């Protein structure tokens, strides 16, 4: 089985972070955590944008399934 074919684990990291208690963190630790999470958001958004650009390029080259390409 290819690595991408494996089922995704339930309870992703974002869900686990969202439920974590923050009471024991200092202000500096919270600021570092925010910076790390913002960097991760930027990374995921860039990956999403790259994937969308790839899909647009493929659709323009091959036609999108909803465009009726190949329909008679």
Please tell me the distance from the alpha carbon of residue 47 to that of residue 53, in angstroms, as a whole number: 10
Q: Are 46 and 54 in contact (CB under 8 A)?
A: no
For residues 16-29, give the mean pLDDT.
94
Instruction: Kindly report the pTM of this predicted structure.
Output: 0.65
Question: CA 57, CA 14: separation in Å to the nearest integer?
Answer: 30
Share of the chain above pLDDT 70, in %: 76
């Amino acid at each position: 089985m290819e690595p991408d074919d494996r089922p995704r684990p339930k309870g992703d990291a974002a869900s686990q972070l969202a439920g974590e208690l923050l009471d024991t963190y200092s202000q500096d630790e919270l600021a570092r955590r925010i910076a790390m999470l913002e960097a991760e958001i930027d990374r995921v958004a860039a990956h999403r944008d790259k994937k969308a650009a790839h899909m647009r390029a493929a659709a323009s080259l091959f036609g999108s399934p909803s465009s009726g390409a190949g329909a008679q």
